[in-house]
Amino acid sequence: MKKFKIVMAAAFLFAFCAAGWAGEPIMDRRQYRKNLAYNKNAFPIGWQYEAGYTAWRINRNLPVNLNTYRKYKNDKAWHNRMRIHHNPEKFLLDTLDWTTGELALLWQEYQDFLKFHPGGVE
């Protein structure tokens, strides 16, 4: 009788627990992306083969592992912050673009006056 109770309890647990395990769907891409958006510690699919990470890792002679990928992401974020907050080259290049545009318009507008006449104008 004791063995029968143990077998029935095991069958009961298996019947109800197996239904719960079978009810969980396999994670698809959409669910993975949703979880990735909420879980900042999860790594994206194919993180080992990311081109920027590979180039960064080869330049520093580092192995492929989770810690170096975290360092890469932190380094990338730091460089992006520096580009946003400290960007004098952006202002210089924008000014240079504006100046060349203005000079092109000036040259187009006053083409006749800006010609070089070594002997003078008659």
**Residues 41-77 pLDDT 10s:** 778 888 888 888 988 999 999 999 989 999 999 999 9
Position 49 in a domain = yes
Position 70 in a domain = yes
**Angle at CA 100, nearest 5°, toward 96 and 104?**
170
Name the CA dihedral angle for 40, 45, 49, 50, rounded to a multiple of 10 degrees: -50
Position 17 in a domain = no
Give the integer Cα–Cα distance in Å for 34 and 42.
Answer: 11
pLDDT confidence bin for 25, thresholds 50/70/90: low
pTM, to two decimals:
0.42
Position 37 in a domain = no
**Residue where the block lists tokens 């004098």:** 88
Can you give the residue range of the structural domain that contains 81?
Answer: 45-98
| Buried b / exposed e along 71-103 (16+ C-beta atoms within 10 A) | bbbeeeeeeeeeeeeeeeeeeeeeeeeeeeeee
Among 24-33, 64-73, 74-83, the range scoring the smallest mean pLDDT is 24-33
The structural domain count of the chain equals 1
